[in-house]
Amino acid sequence: MAVYLVTGGAGFIGSNIVETLLENGANVRVLDNLSTGKAENLREYQDDIEFINGDIRDLERCQKACKGVDYVLHQAALGSVPRSIEAPKTTNDVNISGTLNMLVAARDQDVQRFVYASSSSVYGDDPNLPKKEDRVGRVLSPYALTKKTNEIYARLFFELYGLPTIGLRYFNVFGKRQDPHSAYAAVIPKFVRRLINDQPGVIYGDGQQSRDFTHVSNVIQANLLACSATAPAFGQVFNIACGSSTTVLELYEKISNLLGKSITPEFRPPRKGDVKHSNADVEKAIKFLRYEPKINIDQGLEMTIDWYVNNL
């Protein structure tokens, strides 16, 4: 039976991947230092996984984690554009040096496939819509720079060492277990938490910025498909999204309606490093990975809000 290593497996996306892998009967190992991930995200699975408490900045720990592993699903990272602007060195150390450690360990331990999380932030100031993988602009934050660097390293590890790597550019992922309490929380859990508490959601800028909000189930599907993709996909990156676009104001209205709330949002100045518009072309992922986004934003919001109502 195949062995999967999920780095950052106690985090939002990682724990959802772990859950699905276990449902599919896989052997699962998790590497996480619990700096942003939470042990409670894995509590119900703790008897079914091998958990390594470790930091991807520790190469020896990475080597240990990769030993005997068939597939690495590398989700561990220090997320958030604003956090990267506040702490560029830490973001660099975790996201670039940590990912390089994982690539080295995967190469040394003869891992069959290295699938890693990239980000739509790499498109930077490119104004063209929809976003296509081979057309990127100037990155606007240290976070975006780290993700772009990871893509270059992964391509090199395939070309130089023959390690089959596949990068997934996530677009604004949301779903259950996404932390609404962090200072760097994403917009959907922030809106939900504030509206549940009868507080106005905070919108930075005019709310006309748009995003390709992607339910976590689509991301899980992409990771699993990447594990079985054929050689033409190796060394490449793929947009993982729904191929649709929703403004932040439209998002706020959708969430308000689902929660039965009517609270005017609070507007604040735009944030540095934010991309204005983000909408993915997913044709490349459809062609090479057989990816098919199955949960749209409306379905995803219903599922997610139902989870928050029962867990906040």
Contact status, residue 31 vs residue 72, Cβ threshold 8 Å:
no
Q: Is 247 exposed, middle or buried (0-12, 13-18, 19+ CB in 10 A)?
A: middle
Beta bridge partners of 31: 7, 52
Query: Which of 71, 123, 143, 170 is flagged as catalytic?
Result: 143
Q: Is 153 annotated as catalytic? A: no
- Residue 147 to residue 158: CA distance in whole angstroms: 17
Q: Which residues are catalytic?
A: 143
